[in-house]
Structure 1
Amino acid sequence: MLNLIWLLLSGFLIFIIFLRAPQNGGLASFATKSDLLGSPSSAERFLNNLTALLIILYLLLAIQLNFNNL
């Protein structure tokens, strides 16, 4: 069960990291012109917090799975 959660979490982390708009323009210009995610600064802050939380959860699950395999 933990293996499945860990696998899904790693896939979602890859997706959310690629979803982030680049800081040098690119999709950022689209994000400032569209209210798709609300305010660009609040959306970016939410994605930063979500990414950090999921990375911590990913690492904790990796440690737990490593100790289970010993």
Structure 2
Amino acid sequence: MIELETLRLGVEGKTLIWRTLLVVAAGEPRLDEYQLHHLLDRARGQIDTLETLRLQAAAAVFSPGAQRDS
């Protein structure tokens, strides 16, 4: 659970970077808006995947029959 939540936070941070660079890209010829949109879309897909895995892990960990380490 912790690892999945940490990964999700990291990917959320990447989306903020790509969104910020997209704002700057309009006036900065060194930034490729197409590539930034691609990176943003990819990060959003990663978030979707991580959220699915996180919810599955939460169900496994917190379900009434889940095994607990002593």
Q: Which category describes the TM-score, using the shorter chain as reference length?
A: 0.5 to 0.7
Give the alignment partner of residue 49 of structure 1, picking from 9, 29, 45: 45
Q: Report the number of matched residues.
A: 61
Give the alignment partner of residue 34 of structure 1, picking from 19, 22, 31: 31
RMSD of aligned residue pairs (Cα, Å): 2.8
8 Å CA contact retained: 2:8, 2:47:
yes
Q: Percent identity?
A: 11
Q: Under a length normalisation based on structure 2, what TM-score does the superposition of the two structures give?
A: 0.65
RCO (CA 8 Å, sep 6+): is it higher in 1 or 2? 1
Runs of 5+ in structure 2 lacking a partner? none
Runs of 5+ in structure 1 lacking a partner? 1-5
Look at both structures and tell me which one has the larger radius of gyration over its CA atoms.
Answer: 2
